[in-house]
Chain A
Amino acid sequence: MDNHASGAMPFIVNDCALLAIATGKRAQNLKELRDHLLTIHPGSIYFHFWGNLLHPRFDEPEYNNDFAAWARHGLHDKVLAERLSVVDPNSYGTLDELRQELIEIIEQRLDEREVLAWAQPDQQFEFIRAITVVFRTDLQFFTPEKLAARIRQMSVSSVFYHFIDAKRRNENHLDDFRNWLESFGERYQSLYQSLAQVDPYFTSLTDLREELATIFSGCLCEVGHG
């Protein structure tokens, strides 16, 4: 007999594919970067913080957002790169708040420096945004236990969709897992709390998937024994 609780709705696993789009906006120095940041599509700011998770990178990138990486490698400004690199997008409720923080940091740096650094013509900052196509997979789960058993089989882009993209998409800024767990009442509180502690910013999607799988199985083991 199945000892697991069932929520009102199954957890339907979706997947997503991002496709990059050129905005046509480029910056060769810090003033140009600041000026474009004032008006750039919020999707571009999102892309330069999060989109690179789904693009070529290594597990321990030097900088976690494209602005910091460009400050270091395009402008050779280590001070600015360090300041930009600690900006954690999770700390801002909206992309416009994040945009304001970036502009503040850049304006402070412009005030500090007497000479404006320029990037080489082939190292300009290219503002990119992305369209996201969301599609359904064949997976759906009625209980967290069933989901836990298959998390490692989810694609990394599914993990991105349900854990990272969800926080921007959902009005309550929660990931999809926690929103679903709420439908079970108090039963999975420990799992819910553990998921809330996960910081996806300084990890790769593969590691994030592993972390989620470990949390699910660990917490559900407790529920099973409780």
Chain B
Amino acid sequence: MANLLDAYAEIVGRDVIDQLHQLAGPLRDKRVVHVNSTRLGGGVAELLEKHVPLTRELGIETHWEVITGNALFYQCTKNFHNGLQGKTVNMPADWLRNFEETNAFNADQLRPILSDADIVFIHDPQPAPLLRYLPERKGKWVWRCHIDVNRPNRVIWRYLRSFVAGYDASIFSLAAFAQPLPHTQYLIPPSIDPLSDKNIDLPEDEIDGVCERFGIDRERPVILQVSRFDRFKDPAGVIEAYRIAKHFLPEIQLVLAGGTATDDPEGDAVLAEVRLAADGDPDVHILLLPPDAHRTINALQRAADLAVQKSLREGFGLTVTEALWKGKPVIGGDTGGIRLQVIDHHTGFLVNTPEGAALRIRYLLHDRRKIEEMGQKARQFVRDNFLITRHLREYLTLMVSVLHAAGERIELAGDIRVRGQ
């Protein structure tokens, strides 16, 4: 762990790591605490697993605390999650009472560390009410929303807003997610970790082994979409695009790799529709993978010739980032965060229909040099913009910002000056 930053320096360059050290300088006497609701599983825990040791290595005292709750609490917060993504959810009064009591209990447990911290990051809705139960806090509190709240269920948002409004600042992943709130809303897109199982370089024989396991022929072109079996990801549209393209390129194979959808009642129905649409085609591989199959997904992404993410609606689309990092052009739906990542003719193509996707599949497979050229650009694009080191730099910048008056410019060079208030 002592050389974690060095390991990243090999990927992003020493200058990027030097920048992190310089930004961290004025934060070295500060105490930072992150709070979320789980230590294992899920994107937030994966992020904190790396962020916390990295900020410690930069010399900032950083803690990670996890709140606990009963089954009802998690059922309630799952509904919050779905509600913030726009779904209609049921929220009985006793669930909300339990939600608030759980937070009051956790506030008592965490009072010593949270009251004294200089900066507290509260991740997602589960621990959002903690702030209300710690009026004696001395530091700055920031609410980090990792969820796509582009069009939230208004009832759910109104309830959560009452807890979030009291924070000193909040963070959203995209400008489109920002909500009317009485404090500064920072915009920090998510990132991927190049050293995680999902993204680390794999030996060729491991990739071969995964393909062999699923009957994928590496001698023939592979088109891959990694996503949950969800209508917004349009897996049926991907099959349609494959069929159109296969008419011209009979050797192509399609892999649809997705997680199990235990919390999504529609998941089984969509999966059944997808199987029906595949109609027993031996070149369509529908893979239902467990949530921890990170290396398997990694291998499939590396085996693919090109990736598709034909979503009809998308938050940020980290599967796009992952594919680009592996040097694969992405044919992506023209929506949400995919637009930030897929740049026509540079890192892939934005499409609106199965026909559009089919055209781009044909175009790219027709000229392998294009795949190679765009793949190199794609990897460099992610290296510059969407790796964990950029994410960390923005967190450090934010910490400096919230600790000073919210001016337009904060000068740490020499005496600290704030301008543009």
Total B residues in contact with A, Cβ cutoff 8 Å: 47
Q: Give A162 Cβ to nearest chain B Cβ, in Å.
A: 12
Total A residues in contact with B, Cβ cutoff 8 Å: 30
Q: Which of B118-126, B266-274, B301-309, B400-408 contacts A (4 or more CB under 8 A)?
A: B400-408
Interface: B153 (CB within 8 A) = no
A157 contact set on B, CB distance < 8 A: 19
Chain B 395-413, CB within 8 Å of chain A: the 1/0 string? 0111011000011111111
Q: Give A134 Cβ to nearest chain B Cβ, in Å.
A: 4
Check if B413 sits within 8 Å of A135, measured CB to CB.
Answer: yes
Residue among A132, A137, A138 facing the most chain B CB atoms (10 A cut-off):
A132
Which B304-358 residues have a C-beta within 8 angstroms of A?
313, 335-336, 340-341, 343, 346
Given A15-B22, A133-B410, A155-B19, CB of A126 within 8 Å of CB of B176: yes
Interface: B101 (CB within 8 A) = no
Check if A22 sits within 8 Å of B412, measured CB to CB.
Answer: no
A128 contact set on B, CB distance < 8 A: 175, 187
Nearest to A129 among chain B residues (CB) is: B408
Which A82-116 residues have a C-beta within 8 angstroms of B?
none
Interface: B265 (CB within 8 A) = no
Give the contacting residue for B409; candidates A12, A24, A124, A134; CB below 8 A.
Answer: A134
Residue among B18, B180, B341, B409 facing the most chain A CB atoms (10 A cut-off):
B409
Given A19-B394, A20-B186, A128-B187, CB of A58 within 8 Å of CB of B346: yes
Nearest to A128 among chain B residues (CB) is: B175
Which A13-43 residues have a C-beta within 8 angstroms of B?
14-15, 17-22, 24, 43
Which A30-88 residues have a C-beta within 8 angstroms of B?
43, 55-56, 58
Give the contacting residue for A22; candidates B23, B178, B384, B386; CB below 8 A.
Answer: B178
Interface: A198 (CB within 8 A) = no
Nearest to A169 among chain B residues (CB) is: B409
Interface: B68 (CB within 8 A) = no
A14 contact set on B, CB distance < 8 A: 413
Give the contacting residue for A17; candidates B19, B346, B408; CB below 8 A.
Answer: B19
Nearest to A46 among chain B residues (CB) is: B408
Check if B22 sits within 8 Å of A122, measured CB to CB.
Answer: no
A122 contact set on B, CB distance < 8 A: 150, 176, 313, 335-336
Residue among A21, A24, A138 facing the most chain B CB atoms (10 A cut-off):
A21
A4 contact set on B, CB distance < 8 A: none
- In the bound complex, how far is the Cα of B407 from the Cα of A132, in angstroms? 9
Give the contacting residue for A124; candidates B176, B341, B377, B414; CB below 8 A.
Answer: B176
- In the bound complex, how far is the Cα of B176 from the Cα of A124, in angstroms? 8
Chain A 114-145, CB within 8 Å of chain B: the 1/0 string? 00000000101010110111111110000000
Nearest to A59 among chain B residues (CB) is: B346
Q: Give A157 Cβ to nearest chain B Cβ, in Å.
A: 8
B397 contact set on A, CB distance < 8 A: 17-19, 131, 133
Given A19-B394, A24-B180, A126-B176, CB of A131 within 8 Å of CB of B335: no
Interface: B143 (CB within 8 A) = no
Nearest to A62 among chain B residues (CB) is: B344
Given A17-B393, A17-B394, CB of A137 within 8 Å of CB of B22: yes
Which B1-55 residues have a C-beta within 8 angstroms of A?
15, 18-19, 22-23, 25-26
B23 contact set on A, CB distance < 8 A: 17, 133, 135
Which A152-179 residues have a C-beta within 8 angstroms of B?
153, 155, 157
Dominant secondary structure at the A interface: strand
Given A134-B411, A136-B414, CB of A21 within 8 Å of CB of B385: no
Interface: B85 (CB within 8 A) = no
B396 contact set on A, CB distance < 8 A: 17
Nearest to A22 among chain B residues (CB) is: B178
Q: Give A150 Cβ to nearest chain B Cβ, in Å.
A: 12
Nearest to B350 among chain A residues (CB) is: A73
Check if B25 sits within 8 Å of A135, measured CB to CB.
Answer: yes
- In the bound complex, how far is the Cα of B22 from the Cα of A153, in angstroms? 16
- In the bound complex, how far is the Cα of B178 from the Cα of A22, in angstroms? 7
Interface: B381 (CB within 8 A) = yes
Interface: B109 (CB within 8 A) = no
Check if B394 sits within 8 Å of A21, measured CB to CB.
Answer: no
B414 contact set on A, CB distance < 8 A: 136
Given A22-B172, A56-B384, A136-B413, CB of A43 within 8 Å of CB of B187: no
Given A17-B19, A22-B178, A58-B346, CB of A131 within 8 Å of CB of B410: yes
Extra contacts, 7 of them, besides A19-B401, A132-B408 (Cβ < 8 A), are A14-B413, A20-B175, A21-B184, A21-B186, A122-B150, A131-B401, A133-B401
| A interface, CB within 8 angstroms of B | 12, 14-15, 17-22, 24, 43, 55-56, 58, 122, 124, 126, 128-129, 131-138, 153, 155, 157
| B interface, CB within 8 angstroms of A | 15, 18-19, 22-23, 25-26, 150, 172, 175-176, 178, 180, 184-188, 313, 335-336, 340-341, 343, 346, 377, 381, 384-386, 393-394, 396-398, 400-401, 406-414, 420
Show 6 residue pairs from A and B whose CB-CB distance is below 8 angstroms, ordered by the A residue: A21-B186, A56-B340, A126-B178, A133-B23, A134-B412, A136-B413
- Listed from nearest, the 8 A-B pairs whose CB atoms lie closest are A22-B178, A126-B175, A136-B413, A20-B187, A135-B412, A22-B185, A17-B397, A19-B397
